Every structure is written in structure tokens, then in C-alpha cells.
Amino acid sequence: MISKTNLLGMTLAQLQQLCAAEDMPKYTAKQMCDWLYAKRVDSVDAMTNLSLKARSRLNEIAYIGRHAPVQCQVSTDGTKKYLFEIEDEDREMHVSSPNSDNSQFKRYVEAVYIPDGDRATLCISCQVGCRMGCRFCVTGQQGFHGNLTAADILNQIFSIPEFTTLTNVVYMGMGEPMDNLDSVLGSTEVLTADWGLGWSPKRITVSSVGIIPGLRRFLKESQCHLAVSLHNPFAQERLAIMPMQKAYPIAEVVALLKQYDWSGQRRVSFEYTMFAGLNDDLRHATELVSMLKGLYCRVNLIRFHASPDTPYRTASSQAMNQFRDYLNAHGITCTIRASRGEDIMAACGLLAGQACQ
Ligand code: SF4
């Protein structure tokens, strides 16, 4: 069985290569970008300014991997959680067997749409599950079940009904972006290139627990904002909730970030999920101020959403307010991030990629 090429997610250069290989004019690649990204068509036949011969050949060798979410849950606060099925790489092989039960090969990821006044943010996933194993995170407890392609990532953005209302995209859903950087950078290139959506990189934030080799490459090749999951400034305490602290200590991550200039357009922020009795007191606030001294950044405090199986507890509003005020008083811009979509398990750390029954 010959596998077809997914055109969604391909860059202008990749499409030019495809055109050259298929003996099509070079300008066809630019036309295809226009149909794929500006007009967001979902079939080759819709590319009506391509010759009939080109469309016919493209239909033989390629397809546009757009598919709608299989489920949408709506929160009382207007947040929407979309569930997307991810194609198994061996799916065609399984489908070709008439007696096979394909349900066992299905994998899902979630994207969360968060409207907020005149802003609308989409939080997207980059992996099925995650191998970082953060102890407080539902996704992390599921283990790793595969990387998304750039097309899988873009499909989450392109295929929601609210696409045209989006002002921002954050890579903070399931998975660690620096652990699937080729696909993440491929998708951000489509979002920001003039042959793609032409978005400013300021509309995009990519998160990380701090995988140092990935961060170096990301900072070199992308202008998008960066959000680092910090959660505890003390090495041993952080290690107890984030296993990647062992390979990439947060002190080394912050030291790396201090080598870059953050006074321009690009921002670095630190995510700090607050747990009662673990990281929410003055000792932690003092150490955090000391650690971030000299780095132009902001800190976002996140209310922890306790799931049934976790030993961790939500910090009190009083502790969070005091923590925020201490950081602000000591020169670090700090805000408490509003909690959204908790009733549909769409809030930070709760994405499980599972369909509702
Ligand atoms: Fe992975 Fe992020 Fe969950 Fe950590 S918090 S396990 S990096 S999805």
C-alpha cells in the first residue's frame, strides 16, 4: 500500500520540492500554500487555480489531513474542550484487514478554547501523553504514546469552529514541546510565515519543563514566547514533583535564560502551580526572587486542580495572594492566572485525552 503525503503542515520549501519532483511549475507551491493556509481548504479539488492535471496527480499522491474534533465539552464559563483523534501510523494496515477492530489503535489529544473578552486563546497538545512524568499532572501519569506531526498540531487550530476568533495559541496542552521540537517548530513556522497564516510570533507561547538542548534550539530558531514550568525553586523539592529536574536542574535552565536578551518583543514567563504546604510560603517566594534576579520575566501563579488520585492539595487564596504580592514588591511581575474549564477537566494539568462515555 502506497502511503499518501499529508499536505497540511508542509512548508513552502517542502511544497516546492514536491512540485519539482512531480514536474509541476514552481509557482504551484505558492498557490498551494494560499489554499492550505490562507483559505484553509480541506481537499485538493478545492484548489481551483491549479491545473486539472496537477489536481489529478495530487489526489493520487497526497491529501489534506484536516479532520474535525470528535467531541466538544463546554464549561459553564464558556471554555470548550475539544477531543481530536490522532491517526495511527499503521492505521491503513489495520483498516485494510476486514475483521480488525480498530478501536484499540485509536489515540486522542485535547485542545482547550478559552474565550476572554476580546481575546480567545487555544491551548494545544503536541504529544499523545507525555514522558516527563510530572507527578501532579494527569497527562504525565498516562505515560507517552507518541509524537504529533506538525499537521496533527495545526489541525487542532484549523479545525475548530472558532478558528477565526483566535488571538493567541499556547503550546501548554498534552506533551512537552521540547521533546517534539521538529513538529512544534514546523507548526509555528506555518503560523508565522508570510506564506502561512502570517501571525506575529507574539501571539504564540511555547511551554517547557526546561529541556536544555531543546530550549537552546528553540531560542535560536523561533521568536515565539517561552513559558517555563518552574513550580519550586529548591532542587530537591522540585525533583520530588518533576523527574526532569534530575537531568536539567532549574538553576541551569535559569542560568541559560539569563544569557538571552528579554527586553525586546519576546517574553519569558515562569509557570508556578501552587500546592498547599509544598511551595506556597515565604521561604519559596524568597528563593524564587533570588533565583530570577537579573532576568526580565514574569511569573504566573496557577491554582492547582486536585484530581481524585493525587496526594497534592490546592493552596489557599490567601497564600497565593501573599506570594504574588511578595514577588511584585521585589521587582518580579506576578499574576494569578484565572482558572478556566475546571468543571470539564480542561484546566491546567487535567488533560487526559479521553472521550466521555
Ligand atoms: Fe508533561 Fe506538562 Fe504534564 Fe509535565 S505538566 S507531565 S511536561 S504535560
Does ligand 1 lie within 6 Å of residue 134's CB atom? yes
Judge whether residue 147 has pLDDT over 70: yes
Q: How confident is the model at residue 266 (pLDDT cuts 50, 70, 90)?
A: very high
Whole-model pTM? 0.93
Q: Which residues contact 110 (CB under 8 A, 6 or more apart)?
A: 81, 82, 83, 84, 125, 173, 174, 346, 351, 352, 353
- CATH code that applies to domain 5-63: 1.10.150.530
Give residue 107's identity as a one-letter amino acid code: R
Least confident of 100-104, 178-182, 212-216, 322-326: 100-104
| Most informative mutation of 112, 123, 130 for ligand 1 (most atoms within 8 A of CB) | 130
pLDDT at 310: 84
Q: Which residues contact 168 (CB under 8 A, 6 or more apart)?
A: 119, 120, 121, 122, 203, 204, 205
Judge whether residue 95 has pLDDT over 70: no
Are 5-63 and 71-344 equal in CATH topology? no
pLDDT at 116: 94
Residue nearest to atom 6 of ligand 1 (CA): 140
Q: How confident is the model at residue 52 (pLDDT cuts 50, 70, 90)?
A: very high
Judge whether residue 2 has pLDDT over 70: no
Q: Residue 337's CB: how many other CB atoms inside 10 A?
A: 14
Does ligand 1 lie within 6 Å of residue 137's CB atom? yes
Question: Distance, CA 139 to ligand 1 centroid (Å)?
Answer: 6
Q: Give me the active site residues, please.
A: 110, 348
For β-strands 225-229 and 204-208, DSSP reports them as parallel
- pLDDT more than 90, % of the chain: 84
Residue-range domain boundaries for the chain: 5-63, 71-344
pLDDT at 308: 74
Give exposure, 292-312, as e/b (b: 16+ Cβ within 10 Å). beeebbbbbbbbbbbeeebeb
pLDDT at 351: 76
Question: Distance, CA 130 to ligand 1 centroid (Å)?
Answer: 6
- pLDDT more than 70, % of the chain: 93
pLDDT at 339: 81
To the nearest whole number, what is the mean pLDDT of the chain? 92
Q: How confident is the model at residue 343 (pLDDT cuts 50, 70, 90)?
A: confident
Measured CA to CA, the distance from residue 217 to residue 230 in angstroms comes to 20
Judge whether residue 15 has pLDDT over 50: yes
Judge whether residue 94 has pLDDT over 90: no
Question: Distance, CA 270 to ligand 1 centroid (Å)?
Answer: 14
Judge whether residue 89 has pLDDT over 60: no
Q: How confident is the model at residue 307 (pLDDT cuts 50, 70, 90)?
A: confident
Does ligand 1 lie within 6 Å of residue 176's CB atom? yes
Selected from 3.20.20.70, 3.40.50.1820, 1.20.1250.20, 3.30.460.20, the CATH number assigned to the domain covering 71-344 reads 3.20.20.70
pLDDT at 272: 97
Helix (H, G, I), strand (E, B) or coil at 152: helix
Rounded mean pLDDT, 169-198: 97
Q: How confident is the model at residue 344 (pLDDT cuts 50, 70, 90)?
A: confident
Judge whether residue 221 has pLDDT over 80: yes
Least confident of 105-114, 175-184, 189-198, 311-320: 105-114
Rounded mean pLDDT, 243-251: 98
User: Which atom of ligand 1 is nearest to 209's Cα?
Assistant: 7
Residue range 55-86, pLDDT digits in tens:
999 999 999 999 999 999 999 999 999 999 99
Nearest residue to 138 (alpha-carbon basis) of 295, 331, 307: 307
User: Which atom of ligand 1 is nearest to 174's Cα?
Assistant: 8
